[in-house]
Each structure stands twice: as structure tokens, then as C-alpha cells.
Amino acid sequence: MKSILVTGGSGLVGSALNEIHHSYKPDYYFVFVNSTVDLRNYQQTIKYFSELKPDYIIHLAACVGGLFKNMSEPVKMLEDNLLINTNVIKAANETGVNKLIACLSTCVFPNETEYPINEKMINNGPPHLSNEGYSYAKRIMEIQCKCYNKQFGREYICVIPTNVYGPHDNFHLEDSHVIPGLIHRCFLAKQNGKPFIVRGSGTPRRQFIYSLDLARVIMEILQNYNSTDSIIISPEVEYSIKEVSEAINTHFGNEIIYDQSFSDGQHRKTADSSKLLAFLPGFSFTPLDIGITETIEWFKRKYPNVRL
């Protein structure tokens, strides 16, 4: 039986892997790393990896947040992620892990670019200023993986998902990503009898992937992807923030107000999913309305015991 170490095991995608991992038993034994191991500390990281001796690693751990956390804490977003990624990849190599899946983000792509964005365009220009600390840390991780592949013959692969959402997300009102933050605000607006305030104009467009879909694709890549090239993971369709907000609000029935005193961030991040579709031509993504419904139902059941 092969063992799979999942860093960030209690996060959004780690929780999704935990939910689906029973489908892969008895072929794999999963170990989910949580906050008891400080991956910013190399001695803790190498000690844990040496004791476990995993066959594979799925590296999801990161210091993450939405637009406003990235803008207010760029040093933390840069330095914490540089430490985490360097330690995980170095310890993986030192303990003989030959295959590792590392998770990037579409924010790594240049702010000024042609669309759709593909995997070869990561370093074609600077990222958007709103998340440059996080973006550069993730870019460096892709370079790290390529260097370890070249020097040590490893199979360290970077996946690049678009905006991930789902149960077990971070629903903090300031530090969350777009869908969980909107769900929480919409929920509170309904409770308090107030309008649902959406920050920004609602015009930026994004592609969204349900966390359980991402978990399934990651497992397919771990088992069957015969390349070390980075790969974008995304449905083809994209939605405006206005469309997403309205889809969420159908479950609550609030008045919606768009507060344009807040920044929109990058207007588009349209990603080319052709490499993924060639690899998994029959893969079916969860429709956005179904994913949002399932996420809202989970949030209501768990509230207030959710990540805030």
C-alpha cells in the first residue's frame, strides 16, 4: 500500500481529499498534515517527513487569503509561503519522495497578458499588484519543482486551479476568497434584515472550481499524468462576480448593493483548460449553481462552527 502525505490537510482542498479518499482504498493510505506541524520550520518538517516516509506528497498548505488580505499583508503572504514551499519540497527530496503534486493559483499569471492564459505564460510579466507577494512565492515554487526535477530526476508537478470553493472553506469576512466571503455576508444580511453588500462593481470575471472536483482531478494527476509540465485545472466557463452574487442571493432573497468604493482587483484571469481536457476528456465539473447550493447548505449546518 502506497502512502500519500497531504499538507494543508484541514483546509479547503485537503478536506475535499479527505472526503473522497475512501474511493482509493486499499490502494493508498492517506495522512493529512494539520497545524501541529509548522511547515515554516524546516527542522519540524524534515523530522515529520522522515518519520512518516511517504511515497507521495500532495502539497496544499499555504498562507492564503482573499483580495484584501493580500493587499494588507503582502510580506506575510510572500515570506510564509516561501518558507512553507521551500521546506516541503526540500524535505520531500531529502526523504526520497519521487512524486509530488504542488498547488499554485491563477494569480501567478501576469496582470497584462493575452487571454486565455496558458501554462507557458506564468513568467511573461509581473502579476497584479494586489497579490504580488503571494503570486511571486507561488511562481518560485514552480521553479523549485523544475529545478528538483532537473537535478534529482524527480516528478514534482504543479497544478494551477482557478478559484476554488466548497465546504470547509475559510468564511472570514475580510480574509476569505470571493465565494465564501459572499456567502457569509449574504447570510448575515438576511439574519440582520439588511442589504447584501458586494464589494466592488461586480464586473470582474472568474472561473470557479468546486473543491471536490479539484480533489478528484489531483488524484487523477497523481495516478495517471505522465508529465512534469504544470497543468491548469479549471472549467471552461467563467462568471462575473455579479452573477455569482445573484446565484448566492437566490438562497436568501436580500437586496443587493454593489459598493464601488472597494477595489475590483484583476478584471480577468481567463485560463486555458485545453491541456486538462486533453488529459481528462470525459471529466464532468460540478455546475456552479449546484456547488454553491451544496456549499451554502454545509455552511448553514455548521455555522457558527466554521472557519472565520
Question: Catalytic residues, which ones?
Answer: 134
- Assess whether the previous peptide bond of 195 is cis (omega < 30° from 0): no
18 Ramachandran zone, left/alpha/beta (phi>0; psi -120 to 50): alpha
Q: Identify each DSSP E strand in 33-117 by its residue range.
A: 56-59, 99-103
Cβ contact 221:58 at 8 Å: no
Cβ contact 21:30 at 8 Å: yes
Q: Is 19 exposed, middle or buried (0-12, 13-18, 19+ CB in 10 A)?
A: middle
Distance CA(177)–CA(165), nearest Å, equals: 8
For the CA atoms of 199, 69, 165, 27, what is the dihedral angle to 10 degrees?
180
Backbone angles phi, psi at 144, to 5 degrees: -55, -50
Q: Which residues contact 273 (CB under 8 A, 6 or more apart)?
A: 232, 233, 234, 235, 236
Residue 299: which H helix or E strand, with range?
A: helix 288-302
211 Ramachandran zone, left/alpha/beta (phi>0; psi -120 to 50): alpha
Distance CA(124)–CA(110), nearest Å, equals: 6
